Structure 1
Amino acid sequence: MVQIHPYINFKGTCEEAFKFYQSVLGGEIPYIGRYKDMPPSEDAHAMGEVDGEKIMHMSLHVSKDTVLMGSDIGGEWAKHSVEGNNVQLSINALSEDDAKKIFNGLSAGGRVTMQMEKTFWGALFGMFTDKFGINWMVNYDYNQQPK
């Protein structure tokens, strides 16, 4: 069965927010990835020192089945982020085929913001807004961890 987790975007306060959430909810933060840790890309702009410290991805494992995920956003993405629409639903698929099926099915009639593609972090990943205005992320990790 797939898992669906909330994914929250912030404008530079992701790490502070997650440490606050952890202080209230408990749980573990197993990963904090910063933009400066991303491999260089031909089409990416040079990352400034301040932007490089922002959070590319982090997660708070609140329980065995609940993970709160988030990142800081900037540039073009920040223009479209306002309070209330800064949350996406993130689906972790069980196979590459499931990820593609879910992505293609739920994005039908909507707007794809990032095509499904293999990523540097070892996953197949894509993002879209469905025809009802809900923001989604679909992820399949190639190195699945046994549950």
Structure 2
Amino acid sequence: MKSTLLMDFVVDKKNNKINVEREFEAPRDMVWSAWTESELLDQWWAPKPWKAETKSMDFKEGGHWLYAMVGPEGERHWARADYQTIRPESFFSAKDAFCDENGVIDQQHPSMLWENNFMDNGEVTTVKVEISFEKLEDLEAIISMGFKEGFIAGLDNLDHYLSTQFRLRKENKTSNKPRVTTYLNFPGNTEEAFMFYKEVFNGKFTGNGLRRFGDLEMPSDMPPMSDENKKLIIHAELTIMGGHVLMATDSPESMGFKMEHGNNMHINIEPGSREETERLFEKLSEGGEVSMPLADMFWGAYFASFKDKYGINWMLHHQTANKE
């Protein structure tokens, strides 16, 4: 989190409320998605080493989110958020309570009403959260359970996710125009290979050219990377003859990959929308083998990798264009 971004947590015992105000370095549409889509909530809602795990979610007025906080030993604490009022990309309220795995409310623990406001100022979005309790004892019980520390840690997770995703979105994608490229995997010599292809085809490095693992801020839950691996290529982009684009990454065994002939080349599809990405994934992966299911990735893409029923390797990669 940048030190210039606002973070304020106030316990108002007089009115039985908690007020939280937090700024994020990302546009409002991205912040709103992170609070209202289960795939993204699961990435940040829980303080590490805990994680959030959604069982079901229907984000609409009258709908609810049923999820578990999963501990490092596999223990689960269930909660349910019932959505009351929703004004897209501006405000939503929800009644949050402890429950069992079937969503039956636990009346022995306090519930709370969340009112979340989203306001933007260019590339910075402010989220104001007001959490109300029926009585002071309920507020104090929640605070004694470590709510402040846990929620702030979760917001730190979100700050890291959003700042990384927004920066990569600006750098990697300037247009939502669909395209098809060839994606190659190498065991550690991507740079050597692409310098060779550049000479052969009189090609031109495009996008960010050669980008190394050490150039990116990796998710905080990833293990430390060696200095040698930081020098490897995480993404290369070279335009060759006819405007065709070759892309590639290093996939060394030292990072858990196993390169084999047959898994070192993919047809990479960049659809113009999430909906088209989902349609293509459903159709192309049917009867095949999915290695990475469709999901939002830390570099800002909606991504999947799989082999179709004919043995052809595909990647789907939708990344929202920078609006600047």
TM bucket (normalised to shorter chain) is 0.7 to 0.9
Report SS of the residue matched to 1:68.
strand
Given that residues 11 and 72 in structure 1 are in contact (C-alpha distance below 8 angstroms), is that contact kept between their aligned partners in structure 2? yes
Q: Deviations over 1:76-125 (max 9, x none)?
A: 32x2x223431111011121111111112111122221122223333211
> Structure 1 residue aligned with 2:314, among 130, 136, 144?
136
Partner of residue 180, structure 2: 4
1:68 lines up with 2:246 in the alignment: yes
> Structure 2 residue aligned with 1:124, among 302, 321, 324?
302
Name which structure has the greater RCO, CA cutoff 8 Å, separation 6+.
Answer: 1
Given that residues 122 and 143 in structure 1 are in contact (C-alpha distance below 8 angstroms), is that contact kept between their aligned partners in structure 2? no
Cα RMSD (Å)? 2.1
Given that residues 4 and 92 in structure 1 are in contact (C-alpha distance below 8 angstroms), is that contact kept between their aligned partners in structure 2? yes
Of stretches 61-70 and 21-30 in structure 1, the one that deviates more from structure 2 is: 61-70
Structure 2: give runs of 5+ residues left out of the alignment.
1-176
Q: Note the C-alpha offset of 1:37.
A: 2.5
TM-score (norm 2): 0.41
Of stretches 122-131 and 33-42 in structure 1, the one that deviates more from structure 2 is: 33-42
> Structure 1 residue aligned with 2:237, among 35, 59, 66?
59
Point out the structure with max Rg over C-alpha: 2
Q: Note the C-alpha offset of 1:33.
A: 1.8
Of stretches 33-42 and 17-26 in structure 1, the one that deviates more from structure 2 is: 33-42
Count the aligned residue pairs.
Answer: 143
1:82 lines up with 2:260 in the alignment: yes
Partner of residue 115, structure 1: 293
TM-score (norm 1): 0.85
Following the alignment from structure 2 to structure 1, what is the Cα–Cα distance between the partners of residues 262 and 294?
A: 25
Q: Note the C-alpha offset of 1:42.
A: 4.3
Following the alignment from structure 1 to structure 2, what is the Cα–Cα distance between the partners of residues 37 and 108?
A: 36
Partner of residue 105, structure 1: 283
Structure 1: give runs of 5+ residues left out of the alignment.
none
% of aligned pairs identical?
34
Following the alignment from structure 1 to structure 2, what is the Cα–Cα distance between the partners of residues 71 and 25?
A: 19
Following the alignment from structure 1 to structure 2, what is the Cα–Cα distance between the partners of residues 120 and 9?
A: 19
Partner of residue 72, structure 2: none
Given that residues 33 and 55 in structure 1 are in contact (C-alpha distance below 8 angstroms), is that contact kept between their aligned partners in structure 2? yes
Of stretches 61-70 and 89-98 in structure 1, the one that deviates more from structure 2 is: 61-70
Given that residues 33 and 56 in structure 1 are in contact (C-alpha distance below 8 angstroms), is that contact kept between their aligned partners in structure 2? yes
Following the alignment from structure 1 to structure 2, what is the Cα–Cα distance between the partners of residues 132 and 45?
A: 36
Partner of residue 34, structure 1: 212
Following the alignment from structure 1 to structure 2, what is the Cα–Cα distance between the partners of residues 122 and 104?
A: 21
Q: Note the C-alpha offset of 1:126.
A: 1.3
1:21 lines up with 2:201 in the alignment: no
Of stretches 23-32 and 10-19 in structure 1, the one that deviates more from structure 2 is: 23-32
Following the alignment from structure 2 to structure 1, what is the Cα–Cα distance between the partners of residues 314 and 281?
A: 9
Following the alignment from structure 1 to structure 2, what is the Cα–Cα distance between the partners of residues 137 and 144?
A: 21
Report SS of the residue matched to 2:256.
helix
One-letter amino acid of the counterpart of residue 26, structure 1 = N
Of stretches 127-136 and 48-57 in structure 1, the one that deviates more from structure 2 is: 127-136
